[in-house]
């Protein structure tokens, strides 16, 4: 009875199951015993001795689990060795079943299945998006020390599912004799549009990243400001230890997302005007320059001057300059900024009312 390699690969998710299905019972039982036995033995040793170091050996079970997959794929691929061969000395044709098997196996990593089909550019796009997004989320989480940002990792399974079903669809089209064109997902969506207008669906999808949807629609000023506001707010709140104002980050995200949806709807009816979120800074760049100078002075003081002066002041006068700055000076500056901003808003509102009264 012929064995199906795809079924063997799926059964390999249970250690040794795929090899048992292929008739390699002893080898399959070996993987089952090792994958489950090493972690169980490590846990038993830790329980009896209390030495938590032995938990490291439990990783051996994970390693053998991966080896089980590789062994199953190699063993299953041998079923195709004779397929496609004609007579002795004749050329060997490419077996479509073999290509389908390897494409499905490689598709468990987004983009690799497309490589198998010869769609290098499309596969590279999916692989870069999957790995790049995961790396960015982990980087922001480590920089801020806020595990709440790990919730964005939920977008990775969405990309994985899309990549898997996309390669299955392309594989089916290739089996029907269609010629596959190596282009990215965004290019394919754009090609399906009868005119040169931007796709509302793509703009909506890109709006998940603040500012990205606006950049796609050609709103460069608005998109850059929203992206900068989102990333800078994360950085500044972390540096100044303003965890109480962390609610600002989701506010910027929601505003950017729904603003992107609105601009995408407007793009279908006519031309969009690239209006920046804060137009005041465009005409008053000197304030940006002043802000950069103050930020540079802040880092010079905190990373150079204070570390040099703190031991001397501590030894002579018993003053811990770091403690005073973090406990009193920095909160005082933040309070003054908040109070000044509130006074500015109130005075502006009062001036508007007086203008309306005239």
For the chain, domain boundaries? 1-81, 303-358
Alpha carbons 165 and 255: distance in angstroms, whole number:
32
Q: Residue 124, Cβ neighbours under 10 Å: how many?
A: 15
Query: How many angstroms separate the CA atoms of 209 and 114, rounded?
Result: 25
Verdict on whether the full-model pTM lies above 0.75: no
Query: What residue spans of the chain are helical by DSSP H?
Result: 5-11, 17-21, 25-49, 59-77, 96-106, 112-116, 120-144, 155-175, 185-191, 200-206, 212-216, 220-239, 248-269, 280-283, 285-300, 306-316, 321-324, 330-357
- pLDDT by residue for the chain (358 residues), tens only, comes to 567 777 887 888 888 888 888 888 888 899 898 888 888 888 887 777 776 666 667 777 888 888 888 788 778 777 655 444 444 444 444 556 677 777 877 788 888 888 888 888 888 888 888 887 888 788 777 766 777 677 778 778 888 888 888 888 888 888 888 888 877 766 666 665 555 567 776 777 778 788 888 888 888 888 888 888 887 777 777 666 666 667 777 888 888 888 888 887 777 666 677 777 766 555 566 767 777 788 788 778 877 888 888 788 777 777 777 778 777 777 777 778 778 777 877 776 555 555 555 5
């Amino acid at each position: 009875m012929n064995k199906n390699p795809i079924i063997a690969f799926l059964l390999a998710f249970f250690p040794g199951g795929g090899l048992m299905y292929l008739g390699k019972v002893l080898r399959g039982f070996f993987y089952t015993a090792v994958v489950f036995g090493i972690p169980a033995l490590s846990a038993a040793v830790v329980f009896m001795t209390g030495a938590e170091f032995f938990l490291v050996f439990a990783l051996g079970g994970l390693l053998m689990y991966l080896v089980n997959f590789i062994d199953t794929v190699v063993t299953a691929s041998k079923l195709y060795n004779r397929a496609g061969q004609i007579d002795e000395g004749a050329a060997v044709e490419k077996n479509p079943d073999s290509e389908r098997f390897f494409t499905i196996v490689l598709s468990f990593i987004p983009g690799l299945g497309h490589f198998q089909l010869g769609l290098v550019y499309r596969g590279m796009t999916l692989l870069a998006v999957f790995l790049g997004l995961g790396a960015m989320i982990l980087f922001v989480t480590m920089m801020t020390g806020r595990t709440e940002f790990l919730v964005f990792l939920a977008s990775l399974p969405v990309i994985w599912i899309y990549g898997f079903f996309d390669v299955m669809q392309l594989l089916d089209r290739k089996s029907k004799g269609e010629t596959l064109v190596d282009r990215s997902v965004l290019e394919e969506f754009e090609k399906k549009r009868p005119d040169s207008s931007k796709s509302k669906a793509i703009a909506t999808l890109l709006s998940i990243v603040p500012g990205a949807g606006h950049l796609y629609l050609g709103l460069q000023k608005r998109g850059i400001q929203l992206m900068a506001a989102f990333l800078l707010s994360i950085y500044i709140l972390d540096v100044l230890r303003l965890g109480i104002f962390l609610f600002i980050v989701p506010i910027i995200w929601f505003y950017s997302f729904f603003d992107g949806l609105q601009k995408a709807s407007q793009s279908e009816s006519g031309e969009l005007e690239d209006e920046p979120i804060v137009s005041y800074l465009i005409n008053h760049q000197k304030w940006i320059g002043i802000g950069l100078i103050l930020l540079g002075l802040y880092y010079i003081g905190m990373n150079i001057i204070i570390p040099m002066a703190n031991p001397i002041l501590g030894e002579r006068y018993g003053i811990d300059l770091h403690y005073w700055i973090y406990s009193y000076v920095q909160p005082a500056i933040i309070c003054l900024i908040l109070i000044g901003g509130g006074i500015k808003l109130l005075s502006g509102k009062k001036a508007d009312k007086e203008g309306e009264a005239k």
